Structure 1
Amino acid sequence: MAAPALTPRRSTGGIVAVWVAAAVIGLSIGLFVPSDWRAAWLVVGLGGCLILAFAVQLGYGRSQGYIQRVAISILGAFVVLGVISLGFGLASIIPG
């Protein structure tokens, strides 16, 4: 029989790590992918963030609040990638 965890680890680090990974993925897509293919690659990047969120939250080994932690991670990654794609869109319409 396993002993209960008296002070479980904080899960905010794993959530923020997925958000940071989304920012790095989004900026990498902006730098290395042609503008015609950015939207498609942003979807692929969000899928990678989903897999990362599952892996990070499974790594904590706690079942309480697992779905909520994964949902917060993915929602944050979605918002981060959305803001980055908004920046790409605004940059494409501004004449340079």
Structure 2
Amino acid sequence: MAVPELAPRRTLGGLIAVWALAAVIAIVIGIFSTPDWRAAWLGVGLGGCLIAAFAVQLWSGRASGFTERVAASVLGAALVMGVISLGFGLAALVPG
């Protein structure tokens, strides 16, 4: 017998938290890594976002839609990191 959820936790907060973490990781990598190693470190950072997405979604305690929420978290994190790394790449083209 299934027990209905009385007050389900919101899932959008978990998605936004992972996306914000991805933005912070991408900015830190863009500032502190050399351009040669930036892509490799962004891959490591995206792996950390994947682990964070699993942790956040497991913490929410909702089984329905788990894989969709994790996929949305990781896809959003990849997009956020891609846009930020694009900005760092374009900034590297500017002579200075």
Give, in angstroms, the shift of residue 7 of structure 1. Answer: 2.5
Q: Distance in 1 between matches of 2:53 and 2:9?
A: 16
Structure 1 stretches lacking a partner, 5+ long: none
Moved over 3 A (4+): none
Counterpart for residue 27 of structure 2: 27
- Residue by residue over 1:21-43, the C-alpha shift from the partner in whole angstroms, topping out at 9 and shown as x without a partner, is 00000000011111111010000
What is the TM-score when the length of structure 1 is the normalising length? 0.94
- Residue by residue over 1:42-82, the C-alpha shift from the partner in whole angstroms, topping out at 9 and shown as x without a partner, is 00000000000001000011100101100110010000000
What is the TM-score when the length of structure 2 is the normalising length? 0.94
Q: Distance in 1 between matches of 2:73 and 2:9?
A: 17
Identity across the alignment (%): 66
Q: How many residues align?
A: 96
Q: What is the CA RMSD across the aligned residues, in angstroms?
A: 1.3
Structure 2 stretches lacking a partner, 5+ long: none
